[in-house]
Chain A
Amino acid sequence: MDPLDRYEPIIDDFAAFRAACERPLGHVARVNTIKTSVERAKEALDEEGVEFESCEWQPGLVKLDGTTTGRTWGAFHGWLHGQEEVSALPATVCDPKPGERVFAACAAPGGKATQLAALADDRGLVVANDRNLGRLSALRFNAERLGVTSMAVTNRDAGNYSLAPFDFEAFDRALVDVPCSCEGTIRKNPDALDEWSRQRIESIAGTQKSILRRAVQATKTGGTVVYSTCTFAPEENEAVLDAVLESEDCRLVEFECGLETRPGITEWEDDRFDPGVEHAKRVYPHLNDTGGFFCAKLEVAG
């Protein structure tokens, strides 16, 4: 049985969802405003004869026609970074301001963490952490190419993250883009579901809970924590939020985004979740012709 079949009860127009999952995704690039302006980056693409379209919900995202980002001058200059369209969502929801301290808990290979730095005008501090040393070198390569100077990189387990190397007690914001079963990346990677099993999802969900808990604890009262995955599995999405809402002093808050989305679900199989999970957003491939995604915004209380 196809693992995605189990979502038929929660996805309207399931046939359209199915059809979208079969279609490959085009190449999308984010303009890195640390090094240039959106206008100049587009001018450079025009100059090279690269055809592109702007993404309506995010003018700094361009869909490239007939080439990959890496083959452009913009990529060499660090003006462009190849990034799946929908993966540009959580950093905009996190919305860091210049001077703030932001934690990117699982940051490699760095698309979202460098976007956080750009949103804060490369002023403040983005602590980009990842447990995997190999992926960390990709993160550092990207951060340097994109000219990020406000980032500190650490190599730890995010689930028991220690602020000991730093001279401050808490972050203003955190982006918790956790490792997940990656069901939503099927359009990019047709093998994404080969390793799928319920057991695997349950095991990843345990890790996700510990990382989100720690991020909430490490964020100051009134601060923002954004939780995201690129999967549809409620066990890794609403169920993780539900568990963390129960153990930590925080709440889910509403947010706007220019994409068409569906609310988080409050029931799944035999489970019922905190009604607050409805503020989370589910992004399905057929709604905006993107990959699949899940994003929630939390406010730390206490």
Chain B
Amino acid sequence: MSGPNENDGSRFDRLPATAADRAVDGRATREAVVGFWTDRYGVSPAVFDEYSFWEKGAGKVWAFAGEMEGPVEIEALGMTFLRTRQEHWKPTTDAAQRFGEHATRNVIELTREEARRFVAGEDQDIEWEGDWGYLVVAHDVAGEPEPLGVGLYLHDELRSQIPKGRQRDL
């Protein structure tokens, strides 16, 4: 059993708007979630205007295109979006693919061959002058960059964060 100030991992609870509205310890806020995407990736806050954010599971934040009264006891609501309750917040692969096109910062573009290795789950030595940490990884498809997912850039190495089930040999 979880107390009133603890996260109940079995249901969807809406994120509080700001820290002042927070009732559950350690829960991310809407302000912080939108702020993370804006500060780190340069995504305009307006992109998330029609989304509500929810926590189900320990620190797993979900984005739902719409409104709903919570809490909601169901299997899934919208898409998994962000991992919080850890030192460095981490976007999911699917969120990077869905919202990464709006990113203007910390986006690393790979060649086709590098992209192939990235989606196969390989780590690669790639030059990158920007910040270390979780990057949106993209490559060019049909004339425009398209996000592939999330990579962790550390010590001159780009580590693929594509989950096993999403990895492909292309």
What residues of B have a CB within 8 angstroms of the CB of A76 in the complex? 119, 148, 166, 168, 170
Determine whether A244 belongs to the interface, using a CB cutoff of 8 Å to chain B.
no
What residues of A have a CB within 8 angstroms of the CB of B63 in the complex? 149
Determine whether A44 belongs to the interface, using a CB cutoff of 8 Å to chain B.
yes
Stretch of B17-25, B26-34, B124-132, B139-147 lying at the A interface: B139-147
Stretch of B67-75, B83-91, B102-110, B151-159 lying at the A interface: B67-75
What residues of B have a CB within 8 angstroms of the CB of A144 in the complex? 79-80, 92, 94
Most buried by B among A40, A44, A152, A167: A152
Q: List 21 A-B contacts (CB under 8 A).
A: A35-B97, A40-B144, A43-B142, A47-B141, A71-B170, A72-B170, A140-B76, A143-B79, A145-B166, A147-B79, A147-B94, A147-B98, A148-B79, A149-B51, A149-B98, A150-B78, A153-B75, A153-B76, A154-B74, A166-B68, A167-B69
What residues of A have a CB within 8 angstroms of the CB of B166 in the complex? 76, 145
Q: Which 8 A-B pairs have the closest CB atoms?
A: A153-B76, A43-B142, A167-B69, A147-B98, A149-B65, A144-B94, A153-B75, A150-B65
Question: Once the chains are docked, how many angstroms separate the CA of A76 from the CA of B167?
Answer: 8
Q: Chain B's interface: helix, strand, loop or mixed, by majority?
A: mixed
What residues of A have a CB within 8 angstroms of the CB of B97 in the complex? 35, 77-78, 147
What residues of A have a CB within 8 angstroms of the CB of B50 in the complex? 123
What residues of A have a CB within 8 angstroms of the CB of B66 in the complex? 123-125, 150
Closest chain A residue, CB of each to CB of B116: A73
What residues of B have a CB within 8 angstroms of the CB of A77 in the complex? 97, 141, 146, 148
What residues of A have a CB within 8 angstroms of the CB of B80 in the complex? 144
Q: Are B74 and A70 in contact, with the CB atoms below 8 A? A: no
Determine whether B36 belongs to the interface, using a CB cutoff of 8 Å to chain A.
no
Determine whether A136 belongs to the interface, using a CB cutoff of 8 Å to chain B.
yes
Q: Are B143 and A43 in contact, with the CB atoms below 8 A? A: yes
Taking Cβ atoms with an 8 Å cutoff, the residues of A that contact B are 35, 40-41, 43-44, 47, 70-73, 75-78, 122-125, 136, 140-141, 143-145, 147-155, 165-167
Question: Once the chains are docked, how many angstroms separate the CA of A136 from the CA of B80?
Answer: 15
Q: Are A73 and B94 in contact, with the CB atoms below 8 A? A: no
Pick the contact of A44: B51, B65, B119, B141 (CB < 8 A).
Answer: B141
Q: Are A165 and B73 in contact, with the CB atoms below 8 A? A: yes
CB distance from B54 to the nearest CB of A (A): 11
Closest chain B residue, CB of each to CB of A42: B142
Question: Once the chains are docked, how many angstroms separate the CA of A8 from the CA of B102?
Answer: 57
Determine whether B3 belongs to the interface, using a CB cutoff of 8 Å to chain A.
no
Question: Once the chains are docked, how many angstroms separate the CA of A168 from the CA of B148?
Answer: 37
Most buried by B among A43, A71, A145, A155: A145
Q: Are A155 and B94 in contact, with the CB atoms below 8 A? A: no
Determine whether B77 belongs to the interface, using a CB cutoff of 8 Å to chain A.
yes
